[in-house]
């Protein structure tokens, strides 16, 4: 038995006969992302181990950017997601995020055609800006007027869901209103995501037994699947009827579920962590405000309030983009990535890979490695993204895998930045966000980096000058 400790002598990793690291994983499942940082610092940035209980395959954990770069770009074809990935994430079907090889290439080409279209980019900007102006800001104004606290993560998840819902189905979900209506569809997505996370923690025989017996998270996942299918059938039927009547389609109906999951969770959580980091770092908030004031002074001729920015105005703001990138570095929406090894190989750090090996890549831990990002890796420092000439630096990108890299680079990256920047600029410029005193903010153990307790805040109007 091999035991490794963290500095405070808490167990980081115990490797047992037969079950290997499984007990340590289960013991730390409630704080799995922090645990990956601890084992990376105490054991190493690349660790090999045995596969799931009752299995014979090996697994690999890594947060080494050299290995990740090799797998996602240099030798991309040897590291697909694999059939086990598709089985674990079967809830979202055989969409672009789950599949490999020719089916993936076909869907990728189709999606790329849509996402690179100027008309589609304009549509994204229009939908997002409308959501900010007609729903997000009125909701926050209502909260500010009544001086109540609210869970800002819930608000941002609603904003993100409504935006991507409108993009896909051509109409609003109406979930972003002052009544905070319950949304059965969105809740089902949350339950489904949680169920798929548990599948990654438990050995496959265990979660498959739970699925067979319809117990625990598998029971919730099955219920979520039925709810999601029912809603999608209704929305798709409605859209088909609109198309039959000649209504123009400017959406992503063909890949609805995959993009609903990705668009909602990535945008919503990114906004949440960003405003938390601004609250902790007021100097960063003030620098972004300086950029926004310049746009406001040049464009707001009639003194209209609240003021809503255009997406084109925000593209050239260097510090805003750097601050967002730094927040995404520390709080990647998808903190863990999964792959498999197709054929025997050797990674750049010398690790020997075997065919069929399951791979866990921690983007969350990578951001917290001093040897990767420097001694200040734990600091929120937008300046690391800006060069001496005051322009965005491309140097940090080599260790930045938040949007993946190589052939599977996130196709919705630009769309996500558009949605996020429009919301950030409008909320930040019109309101001051203050986290409730004593509120505990930490990552939730999940596929997507939600906060465990939400982000409880107070909203106050800014006096615009």
Q: Is residue 395 part of a domain?
A: yes
Q: For position 50, which CATH number holds?
A: 1.10.630.10
Provide the domain count of the chain. Answer: 1
* Residues 74, 76: Cα–Cα separation, whole Å: 6
Residue with tokens 């198309």: 243
Whether the CB-CB separation of 277 and 339 falls below 8 Å is answered with no
Nearest Cα residue to 439 out of 465, 457, 421: 457
* Residues 79, 418: Cα–Cα separation, whole Å: 31
pLDDT by 10s per residue, the chain, length 465: 444 544 443 456 766 555 666 777 778 888 999 999 999 999 999 998 876 554 456 889 999 999 999 999 999 999 999 888 888 888 887 778 888 888 888 888 888 888 888 888 899 999 999 999 999 999 999 999 998 999 999 999 999 999 988 888 888 888 988 888 888 888 898 899 999 999 988 888 889 999 999 999 999 999 999 998 888 888 777 767 766 665 544 445 545 677 777 788 899 999 999 999 999 999 999 999 999 999 998 887 676 778 999 999 999 999 999 999 999 999 999 999 999 999 999 999 999 999 999 999 999 999 999 999 999 999 999 999 999 999 999 878 889 999 999 999 988 888 899 999 999 999 999 999 999 999 999 999 999 999 999 999 999 999 766
Q: Is residue 68 part of a domain?
A: yes
What would the two tokens of residue 229 be? 């299918």
* 3-class SS shares of the chain: helix, strand, coil, % to 5: 55, 10, 30
* Residues 53, 103: Cα–Cα separation, whole Å: 32
Q: How far is CA 291 from CA 197, 296, 313, 416, 463, in A?
A: 39, 9, 10, 21, 17
- CB burial string 344-358: b at 16+ within 10 A, e below: ebebbeebebeebbb
pTM listed for this prediction: 0.90
Pairing of strands 58-62, 358-362: parallel
- How open is the CA angle 424-420-395, to the nearest 5 degrees? 105
Q: Is residue 39 part of a domain?
A: no
Preceding amide of 122 cis, omega within 30:
no
Q: Is residue 34 part of a domain?
A: no
Residue 392 per-residue DSSP state: B
* Residues 50, 387: Cα–Cα separation, whole Å: 44
Whether the CB-CB separation of 1 and 15 falls below 8 Å is answered with yes
Q: 3-class SS at 339?
A: strand
Q: Is residue 19 part of a domain?
A: no
Q: Is residue 429 part of a domain?
A: yes
Q: How far is CA 453 from CA 112, 140, 192, 405, in A?
A: 36, 20, 19, 31
Q: At 60, which helix (H) or strand (E)?
A: strand 58-62
Residue ranges with strand state E in 193-282: none
Q: Is residue 274 part of a domain?
A: yes
What would the two tokens of residue 174 be? 């109406």
Phi, psi of 107 (to 5 degrees): -65, -35
Whether the CB-CB separation of 128 and 311 falls below 8 Å is answered with yes
Point out the annotated binding site. Answer: 410
Q: Which domain holds residue 457?
A: 45-461
Nearest Cα residue to 338 out of 91, 80, 73: 80
Residues in the chain: 465
Instruction: Count other C-beta atoms under 10 Å from residue 110's C-beta.
Output: 14
Q: Is residue 286 part of a domain?
A: yes
Point out the annotated binding site for heme. Answer: 410
């Amino acid at each position: 038995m091999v035991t490794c400790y963290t500095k405070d002598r808490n167990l980081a990793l115990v490797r047992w006969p037969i079950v290997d690291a499984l007990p340590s994983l289960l013991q730390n499942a409630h704080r799995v992302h922090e645990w990956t940082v601890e084992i990376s610092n105490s054991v190493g940035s690349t660790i090999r181990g045995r596969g799931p209980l009752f299995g014979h395959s090996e697994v690999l954990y890594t947060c080494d950017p050299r290995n990740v770069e090799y797998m996602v770009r240099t030798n991309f074809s040897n590291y697909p997601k694999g059939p086990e990935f598709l089985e674990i994430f079967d809830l979202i079907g055989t969409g672009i995020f789950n599949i490999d090889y020719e089916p993936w290439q076909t869907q990728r080409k189709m999606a790329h055609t849509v996402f690179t279209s100027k008309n589609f980019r304009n549509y994204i900007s229009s939908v997002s800006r409308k959501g900010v102006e007609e729903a997000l800001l009125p909701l926050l104004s209502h909260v500010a007027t009544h001086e109540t606290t609210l869970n800002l993560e819930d608000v941002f998840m609603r904003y993100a869901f409504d935006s991507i819902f409108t993009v896909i189905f051509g109409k609003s979900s109406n979930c972003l209103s002052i009544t905070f209506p319950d949304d059965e569809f969105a809740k089902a997505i949350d339950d489904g995501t949680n169920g798929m996370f548990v599948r990654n923690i438990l050995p496959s025989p265990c979660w498959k037994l739970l699925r067979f017996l319809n117990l625990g998270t598998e029971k919730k996942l099955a219920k979520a699947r039925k709810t999601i299918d029912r809603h999608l059938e209704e929305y798709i039927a409605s859209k088909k009827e609109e198309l039959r009547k000649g209504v123009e389609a400017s959406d992503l109906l063909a890949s609805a579920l995959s993009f609903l999951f990705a668009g909602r969770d990535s945008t919503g959580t990114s906004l949440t962590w960003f405003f938390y980091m601004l609250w902790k770092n007021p100097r960063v908030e003030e620098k972004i405000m300086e950029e926004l004031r310049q746009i406001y002074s040049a464009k707001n001729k009639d003194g209209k309030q609240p003021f809503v920015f255009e997406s084109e105005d925000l593209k050239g703001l260097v510090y805003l983009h750097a601050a967002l990138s730094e927040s995404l570095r520390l709080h990647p929406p998808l903190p863990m990535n999964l792959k498999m090894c197709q054929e025997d190989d050797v990674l750049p750090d010398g690790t020997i890979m075997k065919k069929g090996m399951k791979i866990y890549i921690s983007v969350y831990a990578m951001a917290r490695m001093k040897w990767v990002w420097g001694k200040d890796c734990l600091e929120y420092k937008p300046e690391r993204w800006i060069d001496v000439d005051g322009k965005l630096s491309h140097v940090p990108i080599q260790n930045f895998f938040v949007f993946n890299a190589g052939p599977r680079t996130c196709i919705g990256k630009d769309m996500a930045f558009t949605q996020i920047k429009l919301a950030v600029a409008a909320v930040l410029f019109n309101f001051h966000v203050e986290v409730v005193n004593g509120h505990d903010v930490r990552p939730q153990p999940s596929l997507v980096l939600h906060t465990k307790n939400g982000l409880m805040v107070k909203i106050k109007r800014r006096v615009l000058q």
